[in-house]
Structure 1
Amino acid sequence: MNFSSWPPLLVVDVEGNGTTPPDLVEVAALPVRDGRPDTTTAGAWLTRPKRPVTPFAARVHGLTNERLATAPGWEEISGQVHALLDGAWICAHHAHVDYRVLRAHLPQWQPAGVLDTLRLAKAVHPGLPKYSLDALLDHIRPDLTQAPAAGRHRATYDAYATAQLLLVLAAHFDTWDQLVAAAVPPGLPGAPEPETDPTLW
């Protein structure tokens, strides 16, 4: 895989307040350039949700209402998030979830395309008992020595881990187009158009 041929791409991860639909409490966007996560230009934001964080969500990611009380509201940071993501591909694990939440919070934004490491892992490693991020990190063991100290279930850590997972999985493909064909869920931006049969009128 020639990583230098990739279009602009950011691995994203979001954390929510536990409600349905969720309010965002954390967003991370990590560019991947020349086959490496570029932490020097990454974006990471905490944001105070309009509705309180549920106890369950707080136990998962550790972001409590008290911790977020002084964080900016979404309207204060949405422009920064939009500017970083604008015009780029995104990648996430179980990507339709992150894509749907980001689109709900950024209605004017549309990515160039969406890669899903869960879908990609199923193509590269069929038959695994589980395809959760934790299960794949245990199975594939990408290099996480430089991962953010925040830890699992925080957006910065999960985005970094997903980026490293993406790079290991992408090495199984020769071209960007092959990667896209395997990794973009049907119906999401960037999905290849079905070939038309030239023999049909």
Structure 2
Amino acid sequence: MLTPRVRVVDLETAGNGPHDVCEIGWQDVTLGSNGRWRVDEERGSRLVNPGRPITPETMAVHHIIDADVAGAPFWKDVAADVLKPEGEIRALAAHRAAFEQRYCTPRFTGGAPWICTWKCALRLWPHLTSFSNQMLRYQRMPEGLIRELGLPAHRALPDAYVTAHHLRDMLNQASLEQLLAWSREPGLLPRVPNGPERGKPWDRLAADVLQALAQDRDPNLRFSAETELRRRGEAPPAGAAEPAQRTLL
């Protein structure tokens, strides 16, 4: 019988093009015989030739340079081996998974469902002040996280390793099915992230302010305002703007 597992992945890129991956890291989280999820020993990383020069802006984040990837395989030759490993995986996971999904398409994943640990953190730990991968690390200090394995930050394997500890705790707090369901929806922000009402919880906002925010172009902001309106028994406005991603929290 196969052990249930979720594979956490993290990508570093050369820029913003469709084939710009220059590193992939992975870390498995598996279900133990005691019914508790744990961070497994299965982890690794691969450098990838992005087929173009790495921009200085991204080098400054992950410190991977062109010479590091000159002899590495291309993404199309690496992706499926990492994303569709031997043995069953229940899901793939990443922090702000929409980024990884741009590159980890169904062609390479076999259509595996995704967990977004950012969206799930908003649901499970709304009291926290920030929800980036590294801020969660230091606000929560997950049990068993070996500091050295989680460094340097902004490299694929250390970041996947850190994310896996968040995911383990999420899976031990909520079901896999619940995490998948939350991940299919926009992020439910615990507070207004910017503007005149910044920092306020949704239940403290006036109805007209909620109606205005429910028409925002950001899908997470709009969804959060709509959720509060529905909680109050009020209908969200019709004809909201098309979504546009924005960095929040």
Shared topology, TM-score over 0.5?
yes
User: Taking structure 1 as reference, are residues 177 and 21 closer, same or farther at Cα in structure 2, changes over 3 Å only?
Assistant: closer
Higher relative contact order (CA 8 A, sep 6+): 1
Aligned AA (2:74): G
Do the aligned residues in 1 keep the contact of 2:79 with 2:108 (CA within 8 Å)?
no
Residue matched to 2:100: 98
Please state how far the C-alpha of 1:94 moved relative to its aligned partner.
0.4
Q: TM-score, normalised by structure 1?
A: 0.76
Q: Deviations over 1:117-156 (max 9, x none)?
A: 1111111121533211121112111132165365111110
Residue matched to 1:118: 118
Please state how far the C-alpha of 1:181 moved relative to its aligned partner.
3.3
Aligned AA (2:103): V
Please say which of residues 72-81 and 109-118 is displaced more in the overlay: 72-81
Please state how far the C-alpha of 1:83 moved relative to its aligned partner.
3.5
Q: Deviations over 1:83-130 (max 9, x none)?
A: 428863111100111122211xx6353343111111111111215332
Please state how far the C-alpha of 1:71 moved relative to its aligned partner.
1.9
Q: TM-score, normalised by structure 2?
A: 0.63
Which segments of 5 or more consecutive residues in structure 2 lack a partner in the other structure? Answer: 187-249
1:10 is paired with a residue of what secondary structure?
strand
Do the aligned residues in 2 keep the contact of 1:43 with 1:84 (CA within 8 Å)?
no
Do the aligned residues in 2 keep the contact of 1:11 with 1:91 (CA within 8 Å)?
yes
Residue matched to 1:56: 57
Do the aligned residues in 1 keep the contact of 2:150 with 2:159 (CA within 8 Å)?
no
Tell me, in whole angstroms, the C-alpha distance in 1 between the residues paired with 2:28 and 2:8. 6
User: Taking structure 1 as reference, are residues 149 and 161 closer, same or farther at Cα in structure 2, changes over 3 Å only?
Assistant: closer
**Percent of residue pairs identical:** 29
Pairs within 5 Å for 1:168-187: 168-173=169-174, 175-182=175-182, 184-186=183-185
Residue matched to 1:159: 160
Task: Say if 2:8 is the partner of 1:11.
Answer: yes
Please say which of residues 147-156 and 62-71 is displaced more in the overlay: 147-156
Do the aligned residues in 2 keep the contact of 1:14 with 1:98 (CA within 8 Å)?
yes
Please state how far the C-alpha of 1:64 moved relative to its aligned partner.
0.5
Please state how far the C-alpha of 1:48 moved relative to its aligned partner.
1.2
Residue matched to 1:36: 38
Do the aligned residues in 2 keep the contact of 1:91 with 1:114 (CA within 8 Å)?
yes
> How many residue pairs end up in the alignment?
178
Do the aligned residues in 1 keep the contact of 2:15 with 2:55 (CA within 8 Å)?
yes
The higher radius of gyration belongs to 2
Tell me, in whole angstroms, the C-alpha distance in 1 between the residues paired with 2:123 and 2:3. 20
Tell me, in whole angstroms, the C-alpha distance in 1 between the residues paired with 2:3 and 2:84. 20
Do the aligned residues in 2 keep the contact of 1:61 with 1:154 (CA within 8 Å)?
yes
Do the aligned residues in 2 keep the contact of 1:48 with 1:70 (CA within 8 Å)?
yes
Please state how far the C-alpha of 1:186 moved relative to its aligned partner.
2.8
User: Taking structure 1 as reference, are residues 147 and 110 closer, same or farther at Cα in structure 2, changes over 3 Å only?
Assistant: farther
Aligned AA (2:159): D
Pairs within 5 Å for 1:117-156: 117-142=117-142, 143-145=144-146, 148=149, 150-156=151-157
Do the aligned residues in 2 keep the contact of 1:90 with 1:111 (CA within 8 Å)?
no
1:84 is paired with a residue of what secondary structure?
coil
Please say which of residues 120-129 and 71-80 is displaced more in the overlay: 71-80
User: Taking structure 1 as reference, are residues 29 and 65 closer, same or farther at Cα in structure 2, changes over 3 Å only?
Assistant: same
Please state how far the C-alpha of 1:20 moved relative to its aligned partner.
3.2
